[in-house]
Amino acid sequence: MPILWTAVLAGAVILGHRLVPNAVGNAGSLIEAFLPWFGLAVPVLLLLALMRRSLTGLAAVLLPLGAWLIHFGGYVVDRDTGTPDLIVVQHNVSDENPDPAGTARALLAAHPDLVGLEEVLPEAVAAYRGVLDAELPFHTVQGTVALWSRYPLTGAEAIDIRPHDLGEDWNRGLRAVARTPGGDTAVYVAHLPSVRVTAAGLTSARRDESARKLGALLAADPVPRLVVIGDLNTSVDDRGLRPIRQVMIDSPADFAFTWPARTPVARIDQVLARSMTVTRLTALPRTGSDHLPLAAEIRFP
């Protein structure tokens, strides 16, 4: 019976994660941040059922397996996405990165049209410019976030996505308009506040407040075609990103885990689009950061 009820619970969490309340320790958001890993219940329960020679247990394993395949089956199926119109790279380069120039060279290997960076220290800007400017001649740096572009940028400015209890020196968002071949595209680069997992659960109030502010800016943006590049500090399944996701097109069916770089277990770096389609996401090789870079292929309508 424990195998059966564990299987039922795992399947219910995978399919019904939106029903898990956040009232106690933000449990719902915590589950959603690592939702793909609930599939590990399948091999564990299968092994237990085989050890106990339980036919009921073997049948019960189909519940979480079916739930996982319904939610994530498309992530493991190879698909032809065609030639992209735009390649976007997102990377939290880390304010402790020992080799900014080497990191920049690694990003150019993806042949990007747009590169969004977070945790860019003032003293490292010259190193990034020294490498990226050759291929991406247009750029803007606002606070600790930056954007490099193959295409001209206009109207570059910082955006205010600060939680209410942080001062004006907290500047982790920008907006610019890129003159892409598909037409003017508003590009946002954002770094939402970090979260912490404590004994009391997930602390995400600042991140969620920042996400609401960013979502409001996206909803009000007059440019139809729009890209969000950023370290959003959670996966797209997390309800904390709902204010952003509800005005953007859903991400493609790719895991592309980016954090932590040594043993990535979640994609907390994101590239989202509006009036365009992100067709593929790929985690790139490790740099001097604690995040992996994320490459996104985008098709125009």
pLDDT 10s digits, 142-178: 999 999 999 999 999 999 999 999 998 999 999 999 9
Q: Report the C-alpha gap between 11 and 157 in whole angstroms.
A: 45
Number of domains in the chain: 2
Per-residue pLDDT, 19 = 93
- CB neighbour burial string for 224-257, b if at least 16 within 10 angstroms, e if fewer: ebbbbbbbbbbbbbbbbbebbbebbeebbebbbb
**Average pLDDT, stretch 261-273?**
97
Instruction: Name 275's Cβ contacts closer than 8 Å, sequence gap at least 6.
Output: 224, 225, 226, 301
Contact 28, 20 (CB under 8 A): yes
CATH number at residue 292: 3.60.10.10
Check whether residue 206 and residue 291 sit in a common domain. yes
What distance lies between CA 44 and its chain's CA centroid?
28
Dist CA 287 CA 105 (whole Å) = 10
Which of the listed residues 76, 102, 124 is the one where a domain comes to its end?
76
Question: Which residues constitute the domain of residue 166?
Answer: 86-299
Per the document, the length of the chain is 301
What is this structure's pTM? Answer: 0.94
Strand order in the sheet with 183-191: 153-158, 173-180, 183-191, 226-231, 269-274
Q: Which amino acid is present at 291? A: H
**Residue 81 domain flag:** no
pLDDT at 1: 57
Identify the domain boundary among 50, 76, 102. Answer: 76
